[in-house]
Amino acid sequence: MSLCVVDEAHHSISSSYRKLLALGWRSRLGLTGTPWRMSDYEGFEDVWDTLIQGPDYGELRSLGYLADFRVVEPTVRLPANLPTDDMGEIDSRAAGASVIELLRTDVVVNEWRAAVAPLVDRRTIWYLPTVTAASRLAEVLHEADEQAAVLTAKTPRSDRRRMVDDFKHGRLMHLLNVAVATEGFDVPDCAVVVHLRPTKSVALYRQINGRALRASEGKPYAVIVDMARNTTTHGDPAAKMRWSLAARKVRNDEVSRMPTVKCPRCDHSQHPSLRCCERCGLRLWWGCGTDTAGERGCGRDRFWHHFTTDIATLHADIVRHCADCRDVAHLVETVGSGQLCLPGI
């Protein structure tokens, strides 16, 4: 096989992509507008050899591919310093509760109307943290005589096609989505996006903005309504980015300085988060506290750096404990050998 082309290549470090890329291609080409991972310790150097940075927003706008834009940051916004989850992302439940609190009055709809008043075509994609918050916003919009539909990962495919088609053809004004209409969702006539989902991910931030930035005949400019403080966190949507294949941080503690795990059957080295060996298929790790005898602990699949460690001496075995339930985990790491292994294989 000669050439493998991967779209949305910022996902390429996942196990499914790695299996595809390991099939013996002569050449591989990855395409993405946001080569960035949520974890500071995850990069792309073990997947791709070279990064070629394409034209930025200013160049694409001058060529007619992207529209001008306005950023509106209402005075009424979600609170700052919301709690984060294990991956460092804003906790969706806390954000959702804050959105519902804002929706106790008509301030959100009023702020949207003020922001889009100059536009003739006001089709809007709303980005929300939870289905509950999206459903409540739909009720508020309906009460304000606005047509709205909620799109989630669980929306049946036929309903999803109908919603998107109605939105594309102007029969639906508001598309309220939860983690769906971000990457690869192309509706050039959409001129407005509303941030009600706070995020620490610059990739998600720029992907959301991009849904309104497609150039379209009759679109004077796009409007980015930020009620989630994302612009404060990530800056100008048009800022030039210096992307890199390298991880933003390198772990320097004794436990996590080894970036790979070695398969005990075939000696293949790979990222420790992958459940099975890419080469021979041997299963390398399970959920928390499980072993070949059956489940123990909380049973959740955990990335290796989400486990804490107990170290008796520098060169003794390091037994990992689940950060949730504190049960002894399935991985035992020997510092002297620099290798992660699974007892019992």
- Token pair listed for 315: 């060169």
Q: What is the per-residue DSSP string for 11-48?
A: GTTSHHHHHHHTS--SEEEEE-S----SSTT--STTT-
Q: Which is nearest to 274 in space by CA: 191, 176, 340, 187?
A: 340
38-70 pLDDT, tens digit per residue, is 777 788 888 888 898 888 888 999 999 999 999
Enumerate the β-bridge partners of residue 28.
4
- Residues of the chain above pLDDT 90, percent: 35
The four Cα atoms 7, 12, 14, 20 give a dihedral, to 10 degrees, of 80
Q: Tell whether the model's pLDDT for residue 323 goes beyond 60.
A: no
Angle, nearest 10°, between helix axes 92-102 and 131-143?
Answer: 20
**Residues contacting 226, CB < 8 A, separation 6+:** 71, 72, 73, 74, 77, 194, 195
Lowest mean pLDDT among 126-135, 282-291, 331-340: 331-340
pLDDT at 261: 63
Spatial separation of the C-alpha atoms in residues 190 and 183, rounded to whole Å: 15
- List the chain domain ranges: 1-53, 57-233, 250-345
Highest mean pLDDT among 193-202, 244-253, 256-265, 318-327 belongs to: 193-202
Torsion over CA of 169, 109, 90 and 53, rounded to 10 degrees? 40
Give me the mean pLDDT over the 105-110 stretch. 92
**Could you tell me which residues are beta bridge partners of residue 71?**
224
Mean pLDDT value of segment 206-235: 91
Find, among 250, 279, 247, the residue nearest to 262 by Cα. Answer: 279
End-to-end CA distance of the chain: 34
Answer yes or no: is pLDDT of 137 > 90.
yes
Tell me what pLDDT residue 199 has: 92
Q: For residue 93, which phi and psi values (nearest 5 degrees)?
A: -65, -40
Residue 183: pLDDT band with limits 50, 70, 90 = low
Averaged pLDDT score across all residues of the chain: 78
The structure's pTM equals 0.69
**Does residue 289 have a pLDDT over 80?**
no
pLDDT at 259 over 70: no
Average pLDDT over residues 111-128: 93
Domain 57-233 part of CATH 3.40.640.10: no
pLDDT tops 60 at residue 88: yes
Please say whether the beta carbons of 83 and 47 come within 8 A.
no
Q: Pick 25 or 87 by higher pLDDT.
A: 25
Both tokens of residue 170?
A: 């102007």
